[in-house]
Structure 1
Amino acid sequence: MHNKLSIILPAKNEAEGLKSFLPRLRKQLPLAEIIVVNDGSTDNTAEVCLANGVFVVTHPYSMGNGAAVKSGARHASGEILVFMDADGQHQPEDIPRLLAHIEQGYDMAVGARDGDSQASKARGLGNALYNQLASYMTGHVIKDLTSGFRAVRANKFREFLHLLPNGFSYPTTSTMAFFRSGYSVIYEPITAPKRIGKSHLNITKDGFRFLLIIFKIGTLHSPLKLFLPISLAFFGVGLAYYLNTLISVGRFTNMSALLLSTSVLIFLIGLVSEQITSLIYNQGNTNTPLQLEEQPLETTHSASPSKQQVA
């Protein structure tokens, strides 16, 4: 399978880590196509990649991790795509274990980090919360929603490029999209060492962003699982308020009417959202892509610095 394999590494100012990581990766999988997406780096990331003989896609400015992943997927020629971080947290020696699941027939294999691999206790607790929420939305056990280390079938992953955000978090979106479309996903336990260099994540800002992404993708995945509990909550409060006012003042109040009617409206919104979701995924599965954004300008470089073209 290795000659049909493309390994994609989004990179922003990761020159130091790539100096040691790329030789390890090439040694582990000598026949694989390696693509580094240089997302507007200000260091010598591109030069390090070219010196190691890998294909480089360069963004003229930083477009975000998700945009880098999409660029890599567009340029990859392999039937199987492996996505890894370029900061040294993902180990090349773990790739064969992910590929073994793909060979068994799975559509996506995700490296699930253990508790010792979390950058901090706060991030570990946050990831556990995200995993629980996403598991509820999808109806499947999700062991690591935000892991960027995964192997996927290229044709199925490209169905969802139009859904992936340009920033964080493409792992969240792609995982929930695969579950929504009925594609098989499996998790493989991994240990991620401490990253080389400085993290680009802000726990407060990006943590809230991850939470928003879960609910956004939840509405794309199974809207009624989000809207129905809210609707029932409004209905329950409205009914309780009505019973209280009926006993105390003997009448049906405007507040009771407002709460009950709001519950019906929220339920109807959920039904409409469910129909829209079905249309979106049916359109994607019939290979009629729903384009939500323009493809960014990218410059590609081969292992020889003298060869380049504008995509």
Structure 2
Amino acid sequence: MSQDVSIIIPAKNEFASLCLLLPALRKNHPGAEIIVVSDGSTDDTEKVCVTHNVVLLKHPYSMGNGAAVKSGARAAHGKILVFMDADGQHNPEDIPRLLSKLQEGYDMVVGARHSNSQASLGRSYANKIYNWLASWMVGQKIDDLTSGFRAVHADKFRQFLYLLPNGFSYPTTITMSFFRAGFTVTYVPIFAGRREGKSHVRIVHDGVRFLLIIFKVGTLYAPLKFFFPISLGFFFTGLFYYLYTFISYRHFTNMSALLFITSVLVFLIGLVSEQITVLNYKDSEK
């Protein structure tokens, strides 16, 4: 593998899985720069990184998966960045498949998890909803919106560092940013194995946060396309309610007025969001 490739691995207390992952990466990709970003780890992550002679970046406290990704991207020297999880889900042998697709002219290649890959039933359905919504927004099929396994050109990725959140939803943000900026994205099917160690995703807290991904998808790509149907929903609800009350009581109710006003406000919010979105991408390469 070329020395122009940097493999970035955000890690939080993943000593056990790194003991297996790092030697496999060294064996299969000896020419690559390997960067482990320890996000406030309290285990022996530093020790295993020294043993396998990889670059170690340390956060003094846990800042989030997205923050670790950004730290790794800033420090990497390669022209191509490969991001993968430290928990053993991603197979180092899949990296050449991502890179070969990148060489075909794509700007970013994402490893799309197989339906039988390790995941809870709830998360599986949630991912299907995310993928469907994102596909509708961009007008192209998106196989895996939230996958953390991807290869991308470093110069293009760094353009959007300021947009990336510090939490777990960075894959959604960077994917929609690439589509919005007119960069090409493709997917390569992978099988994500069962993770080693304990998951850092909290069901209730992160369940609410992942729900917000749905709104982020809309606001990152085409806010008006997201807000306009909501505005229409309020408008027609108000219209039907008005017709009902007019026929029944012969007057215009406060509820009808509230629904019409809400419809207008949601539409205006969509217009403003659309203009802000344009400003976010005004400096991206075409």
TM-score range, shorter chain: over 0.9
Q: Which residue of 1 aligns with 2:284?
A: 285
Q: Secondary structure at the match of 2:112?
A: strand
Structure 1 residues 1-311: aligned runs within 5 Å: 2-282=2-282, 284-285=283-284
C-alpha separation in 2, matches of 1:271 and 1:195:
43
Q: RMSD in angstroms over aligned alpha carbons?
A: 1.6
C-alpha separation in 1, matches of 2:210 and 2:265:
27
Dislocated runs of 4+, deviation >4 Å:
none
Q: Are the counterparts in 2 of residues 126 and 207 from structure 1 also a CA contact under 8 Å?
A: no
Q: Are the counterparts in 2 of residues 112 and 147 from structure 1 also a CA contact under 8 Å?
A: yes
C-alpha separation in 1, matches of 2:145 and 2:208:
15
C-alpha separation in 2, matches of 1:45 and 1:124:
30
Q: Are the counterparts in 2 of residues 37 and 72 from structure 1 also a CA contact under 8 Å?
A: yes
Matched letter for residue 284 of structure 2 = N
Residue ranges of structure 1 left out of the alignment (5+ in a row):
287-311
C-alpha separation in 2, matches of 1:258 and 1:59:
49
Q: Which has the higher contact order (CA 8 A, sep 6+)?
A: 1
Q: Secondary structure at the match of 1:109?
A: strand
C-alpha separation in 1, matches of 2:17 and 2:269:
48
C-alpha separation in 2, matches of 1:203 and 1:17:
22
Residue ranges of structure 2 left out of the alignment (5+ in a row):
none
Cα offsets for 1:52-101 (capped at 9, x unmatched): 01111111111111100000000001110000001111001000000011
How does the TM-score come out when normalised to structure 1?
0.88
Q: Secondary structure at the match of 1:105?
A: coil
Matched letter for residue 206 of structure 1 = D
Q: In the superposition, relative to structure 1, how do residues 137 and 204 fare at CA in structure 2: closer, same or farther (>3 Å)? A: farther
Matched letter for residue 164 of structure 1 = L
Matched letter for residue 160 of structure 1 = F
Q: Secondary structure at the match of 2:10?
A: strand
Q: Secondary structure at the match of 1:30?
A: coil
Q: In the superposition, relative to structure 1, how do residues 87 and 130 fare at CA in structure 2: closer, same or farther (>3 Å)? A: same
Q: Are the counterparts in 1 of residues 84 and 149 from structure 2 also a CA contact under 8 Å?
A: yes
Q: Secondary structure at the match of 1:152?
A: strand
Alpha-carbon shift at residue 217 of structure 1 (Å) = 4.0
Q: Secondary structure at the match of 1:115?
A: coil
How many equivalent pairs are there?
286
Alpha-carbon shift at residue 169 of structure 1 (Å) = 1.5
Cα offsets for 1:4-47 (capped at 9, x unmatched): 10000001111111112111111111111000001111111011
Q: Are the counterparts in 2 of residues 123 and 203 from structure 1 also a CA contact under 8 Å?
A: no
C-alpha separation in 1, matches of 2:209 and 2:105:
33
Alpha-carbon shift at residue 140 of structure 1 (Å) = 2.4
How does the TM-score come out when normalised to structure 2?
0.96
Q: In the superposition, relative to structure 1, how do residues 214 and 2 fare at CA in structure 2: closer, same or farther (>3 Å)? A: farther
Cα offsets for 1:212-238 (capped at 9, x unmatched): 133134213211122111110111011
Matched letter for residue 233 of structure 1 = G
Matched letter for residue 98 of structure 1 = L
Cα offsets for 1:270-293 (capped at 9, x unmatched): 1111111101111x427xxxxxxx
Q: Secondary structure at the match of 1:112?
A: strand
Q: In the superposition, relative to structure 1, how do residues 254 and 121 fare at CA in structure 2: closer, same or farther (>3 Å)? A: closer
Q: Secondary structure at the match of 1:81?
A: strand
Q: Secondary structure at the match of 1:78?
A: coil
Q: Secondary structure at the match of 1:285?
A: coil
